[in-house]
Amino acid sequence: MSSSTYPSAYPFTAIVGMDDMRLGLLLNAISPSIGGVLVRGEKGTAKTTTVRALAALLPEVVTVTGCRFSCDPAAPDPHCPDGPHGGGEQAVRPARMVELPVGASEDRLVGSLDIERALGEGVKAFEPGLLAAAHRGVLYVDEVNLLGDHLVDSLLDAAATGVSSVEREGVSVRHASRFLLVGTMNPEEGELRPQLLDRFGLTVEVAASRETEERVEVVRRRLAFDEDPAAFAAKWAPEEDALRERIAAARALLPGVRLGDGALRRIAAVCAGFEVDGMRADIVTARTSAALAAWAGRTDVTTADVRQAALLSLPHRRRRNPFDAPGLDEDRLDEILAGFEDEEPEPEPEPEPDGPEPDGDGPEGPEGPDDGPDDGPGGGPDGGGRPPRDAGDGPAATTTDDVPPQRQEPGHEPARQEASASGSDDGGEAPAVAASEPFRTRRFTVPGLGEGADGRRSRALTAHGRTTGARRPRGGALSKLHLAATVQAAAPHQRARGRGGPGLVVRRDDLREAVREGREGNLVLFVVDASGSMAARKRMSAVKGAVLSLLMDAYQRRDKIGMVTFRGTGATVALPPTSSVEAGAARLEKLPTGGRTPLAAGLLQAHEVLRVERMRDPSRRPLLVVVTDGRATGGVEPLARAARAAGLLAGSGIASVVVDCEAGPVRLGLAGELGRALGGPVVTLDDLRAENVSALVRTVRNTDSRRAA
């Protein structure tokens, strides 16, 4: 965590490309009520550098001297814990940029009660958190998709309401917390839930430029900045001052911007036309449209403002599941807006403001961020994904060319020819077939009590959940106080501590923290049989649909996922363990079939993947899901080798489930034998559906009785 002003920040006006990201940040600087920006993109694309550069442009903050919550002397927070504030000294400081690390606790984010002072001195002392430090500044969350859900909920609640409330241990604290929220994420590391995506005002996609000249300019400027940051900043100072003044002017103009009925009808039609859920999209689009008008120096919202606002505020709100690609159909957007062409006249466009020219090596050159020395060579100053554009340009100059194409829904591809209609393993490779529609699956869990990352699958000791007991603090740090257990620990020692009257003397050794039980996310490793026997009788479409359904279940339960496939002569790690189920679905869609069935190789490859992952993340427990008909062909004694590999997995204590894909009137029952060797339950493709088990939730713990027998 850091909270600083970055006096040597890379100049915002020297940033190359990244038009949408820069525009989204500027609009939130003008109107923080928009709700922040979520930046999605690959690593090394200048996300951190751009945010730091923007923080340096924000106006200085006038605060009440000594107030830890940065109250404005002109309008102090009536609920400020350090208040009430009367007339007194004032302090002026630059706007802060506060960074929230992925591993931060909830107490660090929202603040906490000083338990030791409260119990030892009888003082209710509140220690402010990062939400207080970020008030009237910027709160930056890198890898926001890796934050715990409880942290994201608290963060976005404060961003939406402008207030942080803390209710715990008998203390109620409420203070103002208004900030510009910026979250960044790499989609390959996993998606945010749709409910949380909706809480971000705007979203933008960034990628490193593939244009040679633009990448050269990025490197040139970065090297110049690293060589002499002060001289580089001085070179761009006039452009920075002009942009700073324009932000201040737009802020002052914003209250006078008129959102007429025509603009509101356009916004409502667009949001309804794209079938976004709820009303937050309409409100955010309206606020963004007004900010765009103020940024252009106008007091009337135009159709161009509504269009640009929709491109920033709607793409992440129209996703129905994690396999949908983000983006917006611009042709559809233009079609909706075209229905309002004659409703009201548009004002004359404002003249373009003065600003840096798009070409050149100095302040006149293209703008674009870089992510600092810690960013990779692929981004920018690591480069922008769109042609350079003046940071002072109005909305009409914003490019919207690179909206990602819509992903074809599963099940809509043309039918593919099967590799082997007879079910033989000797056929060649067959083209990939489309998956059938996903469905809601039964829940499978890992037995025992884990201590992994918060999730929704297996029982675990977590920071949140029902209280099941008490224990001494681990490592000397107290998390959640268990008051009754603390009093019980202190009570027998009161006479020895010289306490003769009412009250209780509590010492550090008496403190007890609550033990809470909730649920964790697991590593779900899929081992998928892609041999010729699986391709027979058009089963692979149903198999892929089942795996897709399990992937969806893993996404909803906050699991990591991985995929091993086996066919022909060996096994392949199709997807190393990751939090991105979107990547898993993409690999599954392209999965080829055909050849023999090296079942033992698939199981041994899975054992190796789990062994390596256990060293990387020992607290995350695995669940093995084997999708096969149980056949094993090729090599010497293939069934015996497969049984030995299954025994190795069972001996390692790995929980498993076998999805039996065998079909037809004659069934060998080999998948059932594999399940017994693995020590896990066996379900058919039909039994995998949750609605087919009469709402009875079965788990791998059912195997305990089998093992005992």
> Using N-to-C axis directions, what is the helix angle for 280-295 and 237-253, rounded to 10°?
120
Contact present, 66 and 390 (Cβ < 8 Å): no
Radius of gyration of the chain (CA): 29
Q: Which residue has the tokens 């990628």?
A: 207
Q: Distance of alpha carbon 39 from its chain centroid, rounded?
A: 10
Residue type, 380: G
The count of other CB atoms within 10 Å of the CB of residue 491 is 11
Q: In the annotation, is 280 catalytic?
A: yes
Beta-bridged to residue 626, according to DSSP, are: 527, 658
* CA distance to 65, 67, 128, per residue, from 82 (Å): 11, 6, 11
- Write the DSSP string, 619-681: TS-EEEEEEE-----SSSSHHHHHHHHHHHHHHTT-EEEEEE---SS----HHHHHHHHHTS-
What are the start-end ranges of the H helices in 444-508? 483-490
Of 280, 407, 537, 676, which one is the catalytic site residue? 280
The CA distance from 312 to 289, in Å, is 10
Picking from 240, 294, 251, 206, the residue whose alpha carbon sits closest to that of residue 53 is 240
User: Could you check whether the bond before residue 84 is cis, i.e. omega within 30 degrees of 0?
Assistant: yes
Residue type, 177: S
What b/e sequence results for 84-101 when a residue is b if at least 16 CB atoms lie within 10 Å of its CB, and e otherwise? ebeeeeeeeebbbbbbbe
Q: How many residues does the chain have?
A: 709
Give rounded-to-5 percent helix, strand, coil for the chain.
40, 15, 45
Residue type, 333: L
Q: What residues have CB less than 8 Å from 209, skipping those under 6 apart?
A: 16, 17, 215, 218, 380, 383, 384, 385, 386
CB-count burial class (<10 Å; 0-12, 13-18, 19+) for 169: middle
Give, as one character, the DSSP assignment of residue 4.
E
| SS3 category, 99 | strand
Contact present, 164 and 158 (Cβ < 8 Å): yes
- Write the DSSP string, 22-73: HHHHHHHHH-GGG--EEEEE-SSSSHHHHHHHHHTTSPPEEEETT-TT---T
Picking from 365, 358, 357, the residue whose alpha carbon sits closest to that of residue 221 is 365
- Catalytic residues, by residue number, are 280
